[in-house]
Amino acid sequence: MSQLDTVQRILDAAEVLFAERGFTETSLRTITSTAGVNLAAVNYHFGSKKELIQAVFERFLTPFTTSLDAELARLATEEGSLQLDDLLQSLYRVALAGLASQGRDPKRFMRLLGLAYTQSQGHLRRFIVSRYGDSYRRFAGSLATALPHVDPVTFYWRLYFMLGATVFSLSSFDAIEAILREDFGAESSLEETLARLAPAAVAMLTAPVPTEGG
């Protein structure tokens, strides 16, 4: 078993287990036994558990943000005015295609993103912001220019509403899908759910801004 194998096996196991149980609830012993490697391998290859967590995020956030950046650049040159639907569909398409091509589960991606936000883990938030903050701001900026009539503060709140709707519903996709399947017998694929989410997000972003005075 070569070095690359060990590192990769640890990352694979950690990614799945973190998404299923959270960071604190997943012990290094569970990770290493699942990966079939020695307990000390994590500290040897990554230094600490915190750095392992960051490495898990780095492995899928780096290709994701680079693809997203490229897609945004392509959109910016292609047409004169950015369309909201195009932007959101870019986001979804990049997230889905990029991960699916690696044989990774996009739902796990969303679940981890949700964990990054909700589990305190200050070091992780700092790591993500410092590493991927620029990509995030670029995407938010593109979205903002497609919504010129919405004042900045309202726009940013709605952006967080949209992120919340996305991360929350997709990170719990399996649970929600199971409920709906039981109640209505209707199966939902991830693609279908994104096809439902996109227009809902557009409607939320473009909703008329109520005037202060009434």
DSSP for 187-201?
---HHHHHHHHHHHH
Report the residue number, 67 or 171, with the smaller CB distance to a copy of itself: 171
What's the one-letter identity of residue 155? F
The contact set with DNA (CB under 7 A) reads 1-3, 5-6, 26-30, 37-45, 48-50
Site track for a copy of itself across 114-153, x = CB under 8 A: xx-xxxx-------------------------------xx
Eight-state DSSP code of residue 212? T
Buried b (16+ CB within 10 A) or exposed e, 16-29: bbbbeeebeebebe
8 binds, among DNA, a copy of itself, none (CB under 5 to 8 A by kind): none
Q: How far is the CB of 204 from a copy of itself (least distance, A)?
A: 4
Residues of this chain that bind a copy of itself (CB under 8 A): 20-22, 24-25, 114-115, 117-120, 152-154, 156-158, 160-169, 171-172, 176, 179-180, 183-184, 186, 188, 193, 195-197, 199-204, 206-208, 210
